[in-house]
Structure 1
Amino acid sequence: MNVVISWVLLAISSSSFVCSLVVQTDLGGVRGAVLTSRLGSPFHAFRGIRYAEPPLGALRFLNPKPVRPWSPSVFDATEDGPMCPQPRKNLTDVSEDCLRLNVYTRDVHARRPVIVFLHPGGFYAFTGQSKVLAGPEPFMDRDCVLVALNYRLGSLGFLATGTAEAPGNAGLKDQVLALRWIQQHIHRFGGDPQQVTLLGYSAGSISIGLHMLSPMSRGLFHRGICMSASPYGQTKYQRTDLLLAQRQARLLQCPQSPAKQLVDCLRQKPALDYVSTFDDMFEVGWNPVLNWHVVIEEDFGQERFLVEDPFKTALRGDFYKVPLITGITEFEFLSAALYDLRDANIIGKFNSDWEHYAPIAFLYERETNHSRHASRVLREKYLGSVQRLEYPQSLKGLGELYSDALIGVSFNRFVRLMAPHTPIYVYLFRYKGRYSFLKNPENHQAMGPVHHDELLYLFHVPPESPLFRREDPENQMIERLTRMWWEFAAKGCPHNKNDEYLKDLHWPLYNDREKSYLEIDAQLTAKAGGFNLERYHIWDELFPMPTS
């Protein structure tokens, strides 16, 4: 093995020392820190490593450029790098120089399966930082190498004018470049570049589905764990997102046409100006949740991420086929319903003009006869004959409508499209723990399981929960979930009869006949017949999935 390692003793007090490891790569040395796993084992953390040149100035909105070597100096990767520009109260940790990744490893001399976390956030929020969503401590009790990365967000990552100046999908191309970096360098950190599993949540899960389609991503990963979303919803893919680009231009006092002048002006604006206008980029509260869109790119001589409609590629079966795990939570986007119902302005809009605002919130075509018909049908099916939506009476129905519109329909179509071509394990997460991303505003008790809640058992999520210990009631779920995901990353199958936590696991592969899935609760229970199928059928009738 051609790895050069040096140890540096860093004094942290007069009587204690910690060993800091410097790993030599083709780019130069990388200095990490030593951290401790959830159960007390030491591991190496290399955080904030640049994988691309900062996407500044003329590089803004375009394909990322590979990072240049920093040799002979040593890159200080002992702390998280900045997060990409996004709406936050504290902006001191936000920078456009954010194309960074974190690598966590137990043994740099090994060849361990690599798990790459693609974070959620609707393509406009969150980060791969260890102190936000992706604390590595639970996974570092498994024998893997974990990578968490940032990618450009919002208009800086997904501006798409349909021209060479901003062809679109820059944030997804950032992910591709990070995966290429992993192929070239992860062996220096003890990872096996031939065993790379993508683990994505929400927008990260959509990303995995798209990486299976993209000519840029082929061969860069070998398995996928797609949690709570897919690219196959009811929204039609376009070749430009010009209207959203023009809204951004108006907010930043740039010309709206021609496209070149629009982009040239937007390139001159400070990154924090984009952050200050985030609220006004949405139409009703934070709707539409999926506001920035992935587009089918025109050929301007750039490497293209998406070259045709995803449904067309999937139906033809001409995509990069890898074994998959995919699933959703029981209550998914109940949080959006709770937020809207407790906001007098938003729910007032729904009550005064449902047919206008429903398509914005639930992501389907607008201002057509079919749109108005769909809005009436969805209201009747999910909310009944009530004249006005109100809290708490409408919470269940509106929560199910949000959940299906934003997550469930696309998940169900993903399963149906993938199952004929590649092994796929399906789950429904029903475990309600003490902590959740949704808390009852009246008693502050967890209301989950909702969107993001499984992340509490895969990562340390400091804003939402403590670092669980062995004696905590969450311990068994953490052990089961991290072990199933690790087994899948290691061999494409979540089972291990020799593992005390998995010895009774029976998780059958999905097929269209049995529609088998695993119910993940206090017990792991194999079930058949699918779930929520009557609700998903409503959407299939209103917005039929393409057949060619």
Structure 2
Amino acid sequence: MLARCVFVCLFVAVLGCRSNSHEKPGKTNGSPKTVSSEDPITMTPSGTIRGSWMRTRRGRQFQAYRGIRYAEPPVGELRFQPPKPILQYQGVVDASKEGPACPLPAPPTYYVDEDCLTINVYTPNNNSTKPLPVIFFIHAGGFYSMTGRSDLAGPHYLLDRDVVLVTINYRLATLGFLSTGDALAPGNNGMKDQVVALRWVQKNIRAFGGDPGLITITGCSAGSISVMLHMVSPMSKGLFHRGISMSASPTGKESSRYDMYDLAVKQAEILNCPSNSSAAIISCLRTKSFKELGDSLPKFFDQFGFDPVGLWMPVVEREFGQERFLVKDPAESIKAGEMYAVPHMISQTTDEFFWKAFPVLKNQTLLDTMNNEWERVAPISFQMSPNISSENKLKLRQAYFGDKTLANDDVSTKALGRLYGDSIIGFPVHVMANLMCRHSPQKVFYYEFAHVGNHSHYEAPTTKKPVGAAHHDDLIYLFTLSYRFPTIEVSDTLDSKLVDKMTAIWYNFAKYGDPNPVNASQPELSNLRWPPMTSDVRQYLRIGGDFSVHEKMFENRFKVWEEIYPQDY
């Protein structure tokens, strides 16, 4: 089962051994090491940090500071607790090598450790007289996989621009999102990790050449959800100045939950812990190794095939005297104007989770089950409440399949793939964009990523070629994803031009709060005329072989969802 889950980039069990260093991140010593004159050094308010050198795909040399601890190791008594920030380092921090991934399934050679609350900073010049805009990237992975390491969020494209790039790790799955809804585990520790990392950036980024007053938080999938939640969290207010949300949203269907008690019970059962109370669950889980917790992830996917894609989510925290990350359902906060509004770029890809149709339609048992047990399966696969009415389940089936019984053919493949994509990503993102363009006083820019290049997160098994613009595919043109894809060479005219376009869009947005070109010095954006989205004129940009502006993205498809989940925009 795990191998199939890796297929969507939700796990990292196929990361291989490209970066196997087992040196502890952010290691400090009582006395400084001998420092080579070639090593970059920066003096931050928190202490001295030594990095290393890297080069972009165009040959520009830049400084890399990797694996810096921003919080105390969340181990022992700090497991399942909010992060404890590190305010001062003793000695010189060695940030010259890659830090670990947070616990998750991975090969034995891949560096995984519970002591994983680390931050990476990449800068073209730590002594820049004019501070550079900062891009803060929150990695994808459903809140249970992936990392901020450079093999999954490589800086080699964006650092051809005058920006400082920050990537982070945050705790995942049970270690980061255990929520029993009581004082023992109110939830959101993984989100609070992100907040502490943002506070670290505010304090220290000027020492890397970055502007603490010009920080853009960005993210894809779970990272996209995170970006939106930071806009409504009281903990994050004032820590950033623009937001980019790619392919996911916390709004659209059911309201946010107050706990994930069912997942706490399931984790306990998987590891043979008592599950009769939150105290018993947490006490027992503290005794388990991080490897037992991380490696148990595949056992959560046993309801129908490999569904649902989403498991852990941030929750609305009940009040127990703690600093709360989320105090209200995000849609309600947006509508009430209770958010830290900043210029916002929102996107989805043309085909998102279309590939999810293949394992169902090509497996006769799963195909028969989906056809014959639609009432049971639909809420699981399409991430809806199990209490959704039979009438609405039938309405959804009729809208996507008509009177047709699903079969292993092209018609069913297209219809089921579209349903997966719309339910998991498309409709929630549609709701977020429509809420934000109505209630935010800042500009909202909406885009569809439609480019099908040389590589994709889904490539046909026979041809090894992309067949659509899948979930995560716009990341291919913003970051080097060396765990899976080759670097896009400058000579690769098709994809290289898109790297230039995407990084220019991010640079403009990070610097000016608007992706459009500001002068003639950006020929890659010479034909970009991207209007902001408004409630009356719901325009969006399609990024394909070129740029084109359209209206009402996929709104005909989303009508059935708005009937099932009426929206008061």
Q: Could you tell which deviates more after superposition, 243-252 or 26-35?
A: 26-35
CA contact (8 A) 1:8 1:21 kept: no
CA contact (8 A) 1:437 1:448 kept: no
For each residue in 1:59-88, what CA deviation from the matched residue of structure 2 results, as whole angstroms up to 9, or x when unmatched? Answer: 1122100025332x2111111110111133
Number of equivalenced pairs = 530
Distance 1:89 1:338, change over 3 A: farther
Residue of structure 2 in register with 1:146 after alignment:
165
Residue of structure 1 in register with 2:419 after alignment:
401
Amino acid of the structure 2 residue aligned with 1:122: G
Distance 1:345 1:169, change over 3 A: farther
Distance, in Å, in 2 between the alignment partners of 1:495 and 1:546 is 31
Amino acid of the structure 2 residue aligned with 1:475: S
List aligned pairs for 1:86-485, cutoff 5 A: 86-90=104-108, 92-110=110-128, 111-131=131-151, 133-282=152-301, 283-366=303-386, 368=387, 370-420=388-438, 421=440, 422-473=442-493, 474-485=495-506
Displacement of 1:380 after TM fit?
1.4
TM-score by length of 1: 0.94
**Corresponding position: 1:32 with 2:31:** no
Distance, in Å, in 1 between the alignment partners of 2:378 and 2:194 is 32
Displacement of 1:391 after TM fit?
4.7
Displacement of 1:294 after TM fit?
1.6
**Corresponding position: 1:512 with 2:522:** no
CA contact (8 A) 2:252 2:565 kept: no
Q: Percent identity?
A: 40
Three-state SS of the structure 2 residue aligned to 1:537 is helix
Displacement of 1:387 after TM fit?
2.2
**Corresponding position: 1:488 with 2:506:** no
CA contact (8 A) 1:101 1:148 kept: yes
CA contact (8 A) 2:477 2:499 kept: yes
Residue of structure 2 in register with 1:542 after alignment:
564
CA contact (8 A) 2:221 2:246 kept: yes
Three-state SS of the structure 2 residue aligned to 1:122 is coil
Displacement of 1:9 after TM fit?
6.6
Three-state SS of the structure 1 residue aligned to 2:341 is coil
For each residue in 1:310-358, what CA deviation from the matched residue of structure 2 results, as whole angstroms up to 9, or x when unmatched? Answer: 1211111111100011111110111222233334443343133111011
Displacement of 1:278 after TM fit?
1.0
Displacement of 1:546 after TM fit?
5.0
Distance 1:391 1:246, change over 3 A: farther
Amino acid of the structure 2 residue aligned with 1:453: D
Q: Give the 4+ runs in structure 1 shifted more than 6 A.
A: 6-9
Distance, in Å, in 2 between the alignment partners of 1:138 and 1:319 is 32
Task: Give unmatched runs, 5+ long, in structure 1.
Answer: 1-5, 11-17
Distance 1:388 1:523, change over 3 A: closer
CA contact (8 A) 1:55 1:64 kept: yes
Task: Give unmatched runs, 5+ long, in structure 2.
Answer: 1-31
CA contact (8 A) 1:7 1:22 kept: no
Amino acid of the structure 1 residue aligned with 2:332: K
Distance 1:251 1:336, change over 3 A: same
Distance, in Å, in 1 between the alignment partners of 2:86 and 2:362 is 46
Distance, in Å, in 1 between the alignment partners of 2:543 and 2:89 is 46
